[in-house]
Structure 1
Amino acid sequence: MADNDEEHQHMRIFLWHVPRTISTALTKCLSFIDGMEVWFECFTYCHMAKEQYILFTGEDLPMEYEGNEETMKQAASTLGSVVGGKVEADRIMYGNIKTKMESSTSKYQLVKEGVVSLSDDKVWQYLPKGFKHVFLIRDPHTVFSSYRKALYNHLVSVGLRKGDAADEREFDLKKDDILVRNSNEYFSMMHSIWKSVRDSTDPDPIVINTDDLLANPVEVLQKFCHLTGLPYSDSLLHWDSAPDITKTWKVASDDTVEKAVHLYGTAVTSSQFLPPKPPISKDRLSPDALQFAKDSMHFFEEMNKFKI
């Protein structure tokens, strides 16, 4: 028993995802494991702060907090208007986040991040060491259909689409995504990071097609726990539907999850993995979502060959 306990000490998992791959529901599920510490999209907020600061000032944002406090306050204020909540200045610096992640002494540590967060060569150096890497993928048609609707509704809810722009027919992922400059690069970024991780950090990262997770959670969760060293029990199949557990997550903004109801609302009130819905008909996809799915399919299909 002692050897088994020692084996699971400081188990660290880095969970990479593209939008709408059930990542938040899986994070909530795993949050109930005793001793689990969750970092929720902290690097993603660093990325958004960097992008918004360049957009508004034309200047690069520093990577370290010390000595750049006033600049970071300005960046935090700018990002807060985009996400619809107060952002803490010392929580959107790559250097700060990396140091805090690596110094954690929790028994289990789960870091959930969008692939946009560390896709830039300039910030790759801030990838924390000592983690098992997991990549969540899903059919791009499902991803972009769902993401387009969720992102549009979020931008309307925080007041960033008004007047004519509030017409959903005017929304276009090609130009209106606040996270990346080109949404069709989500899967190519994930594929690139997956290859980089295999070559330099974790030669055998885990790939999960989350439609498999929805269709057969017992099998997928058992495999996942075996490969990561997390303890499996049937309690992972059902959890408390209340969103209270999300208050324990480490975030860049204390109301990150609460404010982004159109992005996270269903997941944070979930209590189990529900069977996947039938695949969406391609003729029902908007032109931008259809094109992005087409652009992404090659990367999805290659990674899908390695799914557990």
Structure 2
Amino acid sequence: MSRRTINQRRVMLWTIPRSISTAFERCISGLDDVAVIHEPYTTAYYFGPDRQYLQTPFLPVEFGYSYQNIREKLEGEYADKQLVFCKDHAYSLDGRYDKIPQGFTHTILIRAPAKSMSSFYEICTSPILLNYGLLKRVMPEGYAFKQLYELYEHIKTHYGQEPTIIDADDLIEYPEQMVRRYCEAIGVEFKDSMLDWDPTVNVTRTWSSTMKLLQHVGVYEKALRSDGFHASRPKVVDTSALPEDVKDAIKVCQPYYDKLYENRLIPEDRETEV
């Protein structure tokens, strides 16, 4: 384990695709002296030397992103940082819980399956990709929600932690409150700069090469163009026109989401509803 600065915090944010998690990364970047690490396990899962997704042979292998290398990097030296923050998808661990870095506080960001899956479908069918079959090809069985719930249970059982869970809709509707409470949960000081950021700042400099490429196919477009969290009512999604396989995916994901949702940080305005 590396030498650390006094009171340094290390935090993992585990999530599912299309959860506004990259915008949340930008929010965390508003803190001072923070190292933000973007989806290293996802890079390993799709593009690393021991990758599990083998349908991208036209892309070069990211040899620096083996599962072991990632753990060592996350546990490495960040002597000049007060916070080390890593965001990633739970399914990208591929069950390799022995590669979870030690010394981290684990947190979770969820989003309703109807919203995350319809957003995923929207990306898949964009004019750039036009690949209607990506959902089943790219996502594992359980569509990421199953793996996120299983990781949540693993962390509780084997790490003695109760991961802090925040829901994307709560974050959208009550951004200041939820970010403040998240900061309190992970032991860092909230700053107003977390709610507004400069969209011209290049936050992809430290991303893996393949993750940088994905910004050009629309995967991160909204997050990279965003300029902050602005309180608003979450949108209602009409799933009636979605293909049957997307509707089926939503049904598969819903029970896992519901279990995590029950344990989320509840906005103060809604505490009386529980």
Same fold, judged at TM 0.5 (above) = yes
Partner of 1:73: none
In the alignment, the residues of structure 1 paired with residue 192 and residue 102 of structure 2 have an alpha-carbon distance, to the nearest angstrom, of 31
- Residue identity (%): 25
Q: Say if 2:136 is the partner of 1:175.
A: yes
In the alignment, the residues of structure 2 paired with residue 260 and residue 196 of structure 1 have an alpha-carbon distance, to the nearest angstrom, of 35
Q: 1:40 to 1:257 in 2, by over 3 A?
A: farther
In the alignment, the residues of structure 2 paired with residue 218 and residue 230 of structure 1 have an alpha-carbon distance, to the nearest angstrom, of 15
Normalising by the residue count of structure 2, what TM-score does the alignment of the two structures yield? 0.85
In the alignment, the residues of structure 1 paired with residue 257 and residue 140 of structure 2 have an alpha-carbon distance, to the nearest angstrom, of 20
Is 1:197–1:203's contact at 8 Å kept on the other side of the alignment? yes
Partner of 1:282: 239
Q: Say if 2:147 is the partner of 1:146.
A: no
In the alignment, the residues of structure 2 paired with residue 96 and residue 282 of structure 1 have an alpha-carbon distance, to the nearest angstrom, of 40
For 1:46, the aligned partner's letter is A
Deviations 1:147-180 (A, max 9, x none): 1111343xx63xxx6xxxx4x6xx1355332xx3
TM alignment of 1:86-97, pairs within 5 A: 88-90=62-64, 92-97=65-70
Partner of 1:115: 90
In the alignment, the residues of structure 1 paired with residue 31 and residue 172 of structure 2 have an alpha-carbon distance, to the nearest angstrom, of 19
For 1:51, the aligned partner's letter is Q
Is 1:16–1:136's contact at 8 Å kept on the other side of the alignment? yes
Quote the offset at 1:95 in angstroms. 1.1
Q: Secondary structure at the match of 1:282?
A: coil
Partner of 2:179: 221
TM alignment of 1:1-308, pairs within 5 A: 6=6, 9-49=7-47, 50-52=51-53, 55=54, 81=58, 88-90=62-64, 92-105=65-78, 106-120=81-95, 123-153=96-126, 157=128, 166=130, 171-173=132-134, 175-177=136-138, 180-182=139-141, 184-247=142-205, 249=206, 251-253=207-209, 256=212, 259-274=215-230, 275-308=232-265
Normalising by the residue count of structure 1, what TM-score does the alignment of the two structures yield? 0.76
For 1:137, the aligned partner's letter is I
Q: 1:172 to 1:276 in 2, by over 3 A?
A: farther
Is 1:188–1:296's contact at 8 Å kept on the other side of the alignment? yes
User: Any stretches of 5+ residues in structure 1 without a counterpart?
Assistant: 57-77
Q: Indicate the RMSD between aligned Cα atoms, in angstroms.
A: 2.2
Is 2:118–2:239's contact at 8 Å kept on the other side of the alignment? no
Is 2:13–2:109's contact at 8 Å kept on the other side of the alignment? yes
Is 1:94–1:126's contact at 8 Å kept on the other side of the alignment? yes
In the alignment, the residues of structure 1 paired with residue 174 and residue 221 of structure 2 have an alpha-carbon distance, to the nearest angstrom, of 23
In the alignment, the residues of structure 1 paired with residue 173 and residue 214 of structure 2 have an alpha-carbon distance, to the nearest angstrom, of 28
Deviates further, 259-268 or 220-229: 259-268
For 1:13, the aligned partner's letter is V
In the alignment, the residues of structure 2 paired with residue 277 and residue 40 of structure 1 have an alpha-carbon distance, to the nearest angstrom, of 25
Quote the offset at 1:234 in angstroms. 1.6
Q: Which has the larger radius of gyration?
A: 1
For 2:133, the aligned partner's letter is D
